[in-house]
Chains A and B, each alone.
Chain A
Amino acid sequence: MTDVQPIQGQPAPKPQTQDQSSAPLIELRDVHKSFGSIEVLKGVSMSVRDGGVVCIIGPSGSGKSTILRCINGLITIDRGTVRVGSFAVETLKKDKELVPLRHEVAMVFQQYNLFPHRTVLQNLTMAPVQVLGEKPAVVRERALALLAKVRLTGKENAYPGELSGGQQQRVAIARALAMQPRVILFDEVTAALDPEMVSEVLNVIRDLAREGMTCVLVTHEMRFAQEVADEIFFTDKGVIVEHGPPGRLFKCPNDPRLKAFLDKVL
């Protein structure tokens, strides 16, 4: 896919570590994945530029979450290539090889997936110290700043189980940010939340998107997708049926399946 144009005049993202003025940061080509006899991905190709905000929408079981898990190597693919920055993800097999990738690509989950036996602050500092080998004092400073950013100052010593869903999800976002990633994958992060908590989480994501963080979101929040995304991918039955900027995709969808889907959810 080469039709993703770098948009000029965007707030400059973090310094480029390599020449990527035109190459996308994430690129999937013809990705196939089966779970047993069920083929979940049947040749998915997509790309995301550095600093881009991309939403993947589509009906349940269409492979949205699987796409995200291919990007950070949580699941291995059967065929095709996944490239993130300089990493050829499908070639990374050993746990140790995956560490640098997971450093660059963080993930936030529907069920938060926090560590219940550690405090909020420890949830943020654990991985940078234990996985990346950073100095605890440095990580602690960063973690406190991140908690302030997601408006959870004062909850450092609380345990995840003592927080509301929206607060837990913001901790999870801060935990992802503590790894200082280039990309964050969001997997239906508001799907388990009460409606009033959805906005507090979306506000945090919106801030990140504005600051130039590369974000890939699987979401059912169509209004939010329309607002923050610069490109929308619509998946159905394991393929990307249609993609484009939200303005066009939502207003005049071409594919009948997308039309039917939008009729139902909008």
Chain B
Amino acid sequence: MTLDFAWLFDPLYQRWLLNGIGTTILLSLFGIVLMFVIGIVGAAFLHLNVRYLQTPTTIFVELFRNTPPLVQLFFLYFMLSDIGLTLTDPATGRSIPLFTGFTCVVLSLGLYNGAIAVEIIRSGLLAVPSQTVEGARALGYTRLQTFRHVELPIGLRLCIPPMASNIVSLIKTSSQAVLVAVADVMYGATQIMLETFRNLEVMLLIWVVYLMITGLAVLIVRRIATTVRIPGYGS
């Protein structure tokens, strides 16, 4: 059996792939931002025992962490417009879903990996020595100031390794975009396969593409970890 990569030189396919890679990276970046916002806010609610918000946060975490991200994406994409979350397009006057496919993918990535991020960040916060917190309290820091200036900066550093895994998981999960017709790299690949029938070659390439994107993400995280490393702490 010989591998035929001749299709790779077709400018149309190249454009599909490059645009797809761009979309995948964009989906992932927005997803990561949302993941961090959800993760930090959720972990803060739980860690600070915020009344009325603690239980909803716990329910959110369990709901989104313990269900398949694909189910969540389909729910967002298909169900929300069914239950009436629609807009009227001012140009055509037609009813369109409130969230585009792209938005739905970003939301689902942010929610699913954000729920996991809540627990990851919480584990980092719990690893901050109680003495350090007591030191801050004795200096007059309020509970919130202690969180903001002491617990969060140390806790986030302590949770970098599991957070890197979560980010990689998010990038990989973004390939679900193809299922709601968002033109990510997986979508481009599917189109090329339909036209060329070079399934093995295309899949091999996609494999490498994902490896490179996630590899790059891991490298960036390592770089950040080195930059924010606390000299003389824990080693």
Q: What residues of chain A have their CB less than 8 Å away from a CB belonging to chain B?
A: 72, 74, 95-96, 98-99, 101-103, 106-107, 109, 111-117, 126-127, 130-132, 158-163, 172, 175, 179
Contact B140 A127 (CB under 8 A): yes
User: Of the 9-residue stretches B106-114, B191-199, B200-208, B226-234, which lies at the interface with chain A?
Assistant: B226-234
Shortest CB–CB separation between residue B229 and chain A, in angstroms?
10
Q: Give Cα distance in the complex from A156 to B217, angstroms.
A: 35
User: Of the 9-residue stretches B34-42, B51-59, B130-138, B176-184, which lies at the interface with chain A?
Assistant: B130-138
Which residue from chain B places its CB closest to the CB of A114 in the assembled complex? Answer: B135
B223 at the interface (CB under 8 A from A): no
Q: Which of B131, B145, B150 contacts A109 (CB 8 A)?
A: B131
Q: Which of A112, A159, A175 contacts B233 (CB 8 A)?
A: A159
B157 at the interface (CB under 8 A from A): yes
Q: Give Cα distance in the complex from A127 to B150, angstroms.
A: 11
Contact A131 B135 (CB under 8 A): no
Shortest CB–CB separation between residue A133 and chain B, in angstroms?
11
Q: Give Cα distance in the complex from A115 to B129, angstroms.
A: 10
Task: Kindly supply a per-residue 1/0 record for chain B positions 119-153, scoring 1 wherever the CB is within 8 Å of any chain A CB and 0 otherwise.
Answer: 00000000001011011111111111100011001
Which residue from chain A places its CB closest to the CB of B132 in the assembled complex? Answer: A113
Given A106-B138, A131-B139, A179-B139, CB of A117 within 8 Å of CB of B232? no
Cβ–Cβ < 8 Å partners of A74 in chain B: 134, 137-138
Contact B233 A115 (CB under 8 A): no
Given A130-B145, A159-B232, CB of A116 within 8 Å of CB of B140? no
Given A103-B140, A127-B139, A127-B140, CB of A117 within 8 Å of CB of B230? yes
B185 at the interface (CB under 8 A from A): no
Given A74-B138, A109-B135, CB of A130 within 8 Å of CB of B232? no
Task: Kindly supply a per-residue 1/0 record for chain B positions 207-235, scoring 1 wherever the CB is within 8 Å of any chain A CB and 0 otherwise.
Answer: 00000000000000000000000111110
Contact B140 A99 (CB under 8 A): yes
Q: Which of A98, A106, A117, A163 contacts B157 (CB 8 A)?
A: A117
Cβ–Cβ < 8 Å partners of B139 in chain A: 102, 106, 126-127, 131, 175, 179
Q: Which of B142, B149, B230 contacts A116 (CB 8 A)?
A: B230
Q: What residues of chain B have their CB less than 8 Å away from a CB belonging to chain A?
A: 129, 131-132, 134-145, 149-150, 153-154, 157, 230-234
Contact B149 A126 (CB under 8 A): yes
Nearest 8 interchain pairs by C-beta = A161-B232, A113-B135, A102-B140, A95-B142, A127-B139, A162-B232, A159-B231, A131-B140
Q: Give Cα distance in the complex from A98 to B134, angstroms.
A: 14
Given A103-B140, A116-B154, A130-B149, CB of A161 within 8 Å of CB of B230? yes
Shortest CB–CB separation between residue A175 and chain B, in angstroms?
7
Give chain B's interface secondary structure class.
helix
A-B contact pairs, 21 of them (CB 8 A): A74-B138, A95-B142, A102-B139, A107-B138, A111-B131, A112-B135, A113-B132, A115-B136, A116-B132, A116-B230, A116-B233, A117-B157, A126-B139, A127-B140, A130-B141, A131-B139, A131-B145, A159-B230, A160-B233, A161-B231, A161-B234
Q: Which of A72, A131, A160 contacts B232 (CB 8 A)?
A: A160
Cβ–Cβ < 8 Å partners of B230 in chain A: 116-117, 159, 161
Contact A72 B138 (CB under 8 A): yes
Cβ–Cβ < 8 Å partners of A131 in chain B: 139-141, 145
Which residue from chain A places its CB closest to the CB of B235 in the assembled complex? Answer: A161
Which residue from chain A places its CB closest to the CB of B138 in the assembled complex? Answer: A107
Q: Give Cα distance in the complex from A131 to B129, angstroms.
A: 21
Cβ–Cβ < 8 Å partners of B145 in chain A: 130-131
Contact A115 B135 (CB under 8 A): yes
Q: Give Cα distance in the complex from A126 to B139, angstroms.
A: 10
Q: Which of B131, B132, B142 contacts A96 (CB 8 A)?
A: B142
Q: Give Cα distance in the complex from A158 to B231, angstroms.
A: 8
Taking A109-B138, A112-B131, A113-B132 as known contacts, 6 extra A-B pairs with beta carbons closer than 8 A to each other, sorted by chain A number, are A95-B142, A98-B140, A112-B135, A131-B140, A161-B233, A179-B140
Given A159-B232, A161-B231, A162-B232, CB of A113 within 8 Å of CB of B140? no
Which residue from chain B places its CB closest to the CB of A132 in the assembled complex? Answer: B140
Q: Give Cα distance in the complex from A103 to B138, angstroms.
A: 9
Q: Give Cα distance in the complex from A101 to B140, angstroms.
A: 8
Contact B140 A117 (CB under 8 A): no
Cβ–Cβ < 8 Å partners of A175 in chain B: 139
Given A161-B233, A162-B232, CB of A117 within 8 Å of CB of B138? no
